[in-house]
Structure 1
């Protein structure tokens, strides 16, 4: 589909304008599920993997600072070592059998990235020079992503106190802990990766059951990185492969998506105008 075609719209009987991308995107969202068994002998082609990673880099981040690293693990020996030494419970089997595992690492010292971020924005030419000069100040204000943990935490609490005082007189943002800020931005990339995988008929499973210290050591990641999520990637196992892996046959197969997991009713999740007012969804 061309870029121009992607922006065309069709009209529903109700008169609402709907993008031609709405249907395919809805299918992508509904086709995503947390797969527990993978076709271990069906690899992910490197061109497909590269495309997924390129799409993941399009994920938004505050000030475009991109405070994350993705460690892509394809080597079976390393996957087995990670599964045995760092993953908890059934997550070990997912890492062991999936042809690809991606570890998402969030950088709590994102101030190191400021020169590169400003250079990218200057290259894009979308912001005036005066604003570009202010970006490091505002980015560090929100992220508290300074090197040296003592400096980072002293400045964080100092800014929290200052913001609390200023907040009595005007609206101010709430400052997050450095880890919270970095993880928040990194999870946007992780979700983009999983949706991109679904668009290529691949399955994923986000996992938080692992020993972050051991995993960081196995991958050689500096201590400034926190690890919010590990995502396995591959094609869903056939019923026979799943049964051989000890799973319930027919739960996850490449030719048939499992029943979707249930969600709360929309009116329990979405509020209209204020908390406690359930969304009605009427004009």
Structure 2
């Protein structure tokens, strides 16, 4: 996965090709029983984790669910929706709890022979101070007071300084990876449906999720079946969402 720096001046696809891929992605609600090859799943996951993420701490994990009995148990957890009958479901999890191991991993997996001193310092000193909220959030409370004082004189990064902000921090990066994952499957000819309609309490029991993991979606994947897309695409006018400054 670690590769030399790419030539950023070379576009790998045209704007028209990218538009066609994005426009072709729809939330598909009905799937055939055709399985998704493991090679395709692995390739798409490799593309998912190329998503940009905060401080390169990669606060995500994925559970790939293909076993028929487990898929059957997930169906009522997803309130019986048709998309949950897909031959593949991937639980996309935000992991605000993995930052400490990730700091060590950055140094261990650094793609060059020598780890720059600034990198070592950041992941051994700066990042732990920034992301460690302490037992019951006591460090976060202290840091919130500190940034109020320091922020009077200069601009600085003010979050995350609480457990709630850590959750938001992880969810934002994981959502970027999830979009990569959906587009990757689309490029292989497989449809997806990001499901947020599930019973989280029951989901945690069925999948035995780590306590601090945050399930942000269950991604159904497969070949589209009949009447796979329920409605025409609807998006509000761009002018409602964009302000030109």
TM-score range, shorter chain: 0.7 to 0.9
Matches of 2:40 and 2:220, distance apart in 1: 15
Alignment of 1:106-121 (within 5 A): 106-109=94-97, 110-121=99-110
Q: Report what 2:51 is aligned to.
A: 59
1:77 aligns with 2:88: no
Bigger RCO (CA 8 Å, 6+ sep)? 2
| The structure with more radius of gyration | 1
Q: Report what 2:193 is aligned to.
A: 205
Q: Report what 1:174 is aligned to.
A: 158
For residues 4-30 of structure 1, give each alpha carbon's deviation from its aligned partner in whole angstroms, at most 9, with x where no partner exists: 8x926xxxxxxxxxx742221111110
Q: Report what 1:128 is aligned to.
A: 116
What's the CA shift for 1:135? 2.3
Equivalent residue of 1:7, what SS? coil
Scaled by the length of structure 1, the TM-score of the pair is 0.75
Q: Report what 2:242 is aligned to.
A: 270
Scaled by the length of structure 2, the TM-score of the pair is 0.85
1:87 aligns with 2:78: yes
Q: Are the structure 2 counterparts of residues 53 and 159 from structure 1 closer, same or farther at C-alpha, using a change threshold of 3 Å?
A: same
1:35 aligns with 2:21: no
What's the CA shift for 1:142? 4.3
Matches of 1:166 and 1:154, distance apart in 2: 19
1:161 aligns with 2:145: yes
Q: Report if aligned partners of 1:143, 1:181 keep a CA contact under 8 Å in 2.
A: no
Match of 2:202 among 214, 222, 232: 214
What's the CA shift for 1:219? 1.6
Q: Report if aligned partners of 2:66, 2:89 keep a CA contact under 8 Å in 1.
A: yes
For residues 148-179 of structure 1, give each alpha carbon's deviation from its aligned partner in whole angstroms, at most 9, with x where no partner exists: xx625112222122112222211122313111
Number of aligned positions between the proteins? 234
Equivalent residue of 1:210, what SS? coil
Alignment of 1:240-279 (within 5 A): 251=229, 259=232, 261-273=233-245
Equivalent residue of 1:29, what SS? helix
What's the CA shift for 1:196? 0.8
Structure 2: stretches of 5+ with no match in the other structure: 1-5
What's the CA shift for 1:231? 0.8
Q: Report what 2:221 is aligned to.
A: 233
The RMSD of aligned alpha carbons is: 2.4
For residues 7-59 of structure 1, give each alpha carbon's deviation from its aligned partner in whole angstroms, at most 9, with x where no partner exists: 26xxxxxxxxxx742221111110111111111x2221222112111111211
